[in-house]
Chain A
Amino acid sequence: MKKGIRNIIRIGITYFIVIVSLVFFIFPILWIIYCSFRTQSSIFTGEIISPVKEYTLENYETILSVTDFITYFINSFQIAIIVTFLSLIFSILAAYGLSRFTIRGKNVIILGIFSTQMFPKVLLIIPLYLIIFSFKLLDTVMGVVFGQLILVLPFSIWMLKGYFDNIPNDIDASAKIDGCNILQTLFYIILPIAAPGIMVAAFFSFVVSWGDYLIVSIVNQSQRTATLTLVIQRLSSALLIRWGQVAAATTLTIVPTIILFSFVQKRLVEGLTAGALKE
């Protein structure tokens, strides 16, 4: 009997936490999506629900036709894809090297890579700006890409190394006996096994690049490299803010990451914490 009551209390507390969490973590997202379908005047009434005729696609039409939103969307996409691709190449090779080979001073290298996480990015961007300037990469896609690489690479290497460490060494050994060289072993044998981890690393790079504001804000000078984060920031700090349009632009910015997230969702934590969960 006593156990039954305890159980009910436990379930009650659990659902209480679940409901509070949903309201706090999910509601703000739903609210801005909801308001992106309302007219400016209906948002300004300060009511939660408006008459049916106040719901509209007008905000999206305006954003997509009047502004260069599509250009910015393509910029964001292009930059994020290149960052993801490059960071995967660099971090897969490095993580595999660190995971499988006896290298003198390996622990120092690993600690060194991890400790770059504590370099203040606002300090790094001062010389970074000058480097990008001297390479003549200001206001170019590659300028943004190289800047953003430093945001993702250290964590990506650390994460993938954790993932590779969990794959038994015997697999490499048997591939070697079958006559595979290192790169063949890595690409034909190890990568397919590590595919979930690679997906998470790719997702991480994409999301960081897609959401970056700091690097873009210093490299960007024109429409050529303006990304969605810059644009929604500008829209939302205008003198007269059109909240319906801001909501629509914000929705279009967050939806791609949410769609990608739904694909990797199950693997995400496993991948992100692979480095922490071993041992």
Chain B
Amino acid sequence: MPEESILTDEFLRQLINVGEADILVGVPTYNNAATVGQVVQTIRAGLLKYFPRERAVIVNADGGSRDQTPDLVRGASINDAQVSSDIHALRTLHCISAEYPGEPATSTALRTILASADLLRASACAVVSPESTTIEPDWIERLLRPVYQGKFDFVTPLYRRHKFDGLLIRNLVYPMTRAFYGKRVKEPYASEFAFSGQLGSHFLGQEIWVHEAGRTGTEISLTIAAIAGGFRLAQTFLGTKPHLDARSADLVAAMRQTVGALFWSLEPNFQLWSSHADSQAVPTLATGEEVTLEPLRINRKRLLGMFHSGVAELEPVLKQILSATTISELQGIATLEEDEFSYGDELWARTVYEFAASYHKSVISRDHIVQALAPLYRGRAFTFLVENRESSGEEVEQNVETFCLTCERLKPSLVELWNGKK
């Protein structure tokens, strides 16, 4: 059984004390003392308010924090922050915290939480990021209720974001996941999500735990596993997406976590993604204003400069990955002045498909292929920023939708490249 190899004796001892649970909320941590206390308090408040009759447990899988994170989790009490008089527990709300084995890694933390849920036979589970300082108690309800009622197996979030926040998600991860797998999951790389006990067991049996790409991008790999497994999906609006994690600004790391895992997933799921062309909507359970428009000071010139430098300096690398036509078009747009520059939908979609095919064929080191996409993405991000400078939230959404349809339309070219010799 998977949990025998991942759960430490200390974890097992604490889980055995809990017995069985209806609901489990997992919090993967590593040196999150600044925010974890508030997050756990809110989770507790949410569980007590919305699930007072259920057997609930908060499981903190810690990577060996040196800043008292586990102590803060264990000590987090709703008394400090709460609140209204209608919060009361009918059952004991367990909160356990233990260190998982090995190096700190999100994949190991998530696997530990999944194994704990499997052991406790929890019917509905959620994962919450310890850095989600914008969390509200009703996030817990919105994530867990649809799963606990048995209506859905996997619930992903919808966040309120600035129109220029999450550019990689809007310009690559969401459109490509949708084009590949035919489901319109807008946040395939979610830091908060919920899943059924059955899906949790399915996750544990996946190959993502043994492959480097799967471990690096566990969140998106889980989403893809849920889609590929034919589980019932839904998405629900939560609130503002917080960005405290310093890693989120590191583009290459972000690309490894998302694009690397997405490209890697195409290999085992070829039959699935190559067999359909269009996409289906995923039920949206709660809605809210998703796009905010407050002004931002962004250094667009730097993005364009790094695109120019990437196309020029990486020419020998790009020649191994892209077709001559695509390289020629990229070199063409690289000569344009800032006000004329445009990395259009079709060229960008074709670029990503050619990268995906080259990743499949391992024309060079796969990690190098993912890294080589970063400078080109900067050019695309520049175009997105310029084209949507004056756009309203609806117009931004419409532009993303247009790009998604372009990706779906051009998908047959990927199948052709995939099966081709070169």
Q: Tell me whether A and B are bound partners.
A: no
Q: Which residues of B contact A (CB under 8 A)?
A: none
